[in-house]
């Protein structure tokens, strides 16, 4: 078995059925089962997103979705950043986030980037340049906070 990994970008119309199944399975395992959070993951936002898939040895181990300015927030945004449990602590989450930021900076250089971060991950995102905005709020019974990476 090789030790290769690669990032793949897809829009909703170009994602294959197998890739979509991998994405939905990973999101379900982490956001619903692991975090014990019953919520509607299929939110009809995937159609408006670009999707970043991180495969290692033909297994989806990480994912995020990014949005143009004006879709989720006035700024460009990143959401559903996720790493498979077996691959955490190895830098893949940081790699996914960096790749997502770079995509948005390349496509929308004048736009800030906004995320709704799980509060327990504030330091992770601060280390990537994001700053907190406002107060902590509950999203699907999990503490979140709005964070922004300024374009300048």
Q: For the domain bounded by 5-110, which CATH number is listed?
A: 3.40.630.30
The dihedral sign for the CA sequence 67, 73, 77, 79: negative
The single-letter DSSP state of residue 115 is E
Please give the pLDDT value at position 120: 96
pLDDT by residue (tens digit) across 64-83?
Answer: 999 999 999 999 999 999 99
Is it the case that residue 152 has pLDDT exceeding 90? Answer: no
Name the one residue in this structure whose structure tokens are 């504030």.
122
Q: Where are the domains of the chain?
A: 5-110
pLDDT at residue 1 greater than cutoff 60: no
Question: Per DSSP, what are the bridge partners of residue 143?
Answer: 138
Q: Give the pLDDT confidence of 77-124 residue by residue, as tens digits.
A: 999 999 999 999 999 999 999 999 999 999 999 999 999 999 999 999
What's the Cα-to-Cα distance from 141 to each of 36, 82, 109, 144, rounded to whole Å? 10, 18, 34, 9
| 3 — pLDDT class (breaks 50, 70, 90) | low
Find out whether 19 and 55 touch, Cβ atoms under 8 Å: no
pLDDT at position 22 is 98
Tell me if the pTM is above 0.85.
yes
């Amino acid at each position: 078995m090789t030790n290769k990994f690669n990032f793949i970008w897809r829009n909703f119309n170009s994602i294959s059925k197998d890739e979509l199944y991998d994405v939905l399975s990973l999101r379900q395992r982490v956001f619903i089962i692991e975090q014990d959070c019953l919520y509607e993951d299929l939110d009809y936002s995937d159609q408006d997103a670009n999707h970043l898939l991180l495969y290692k040895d033909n297994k989806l181990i990480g994912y995020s979705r990014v949005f143009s300015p004006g879709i989720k927030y006035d700024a460009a945004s990143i959401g559903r950043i996720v790493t498979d449990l077996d691959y955490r602590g190895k830098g893949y989450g940081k790699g996914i986030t960096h790749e997502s930021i770079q995509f948005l900076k390349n496509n929308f250089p004048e736009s800030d980037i906004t995320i709704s971060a799980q509060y327990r991950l504030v330091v992770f995102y601060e280390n990537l340049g994001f700053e907190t905005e406002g107060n902590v709020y509950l999203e699907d019974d999990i503490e979140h906070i709005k964070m922004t990476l300024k374009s300048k």
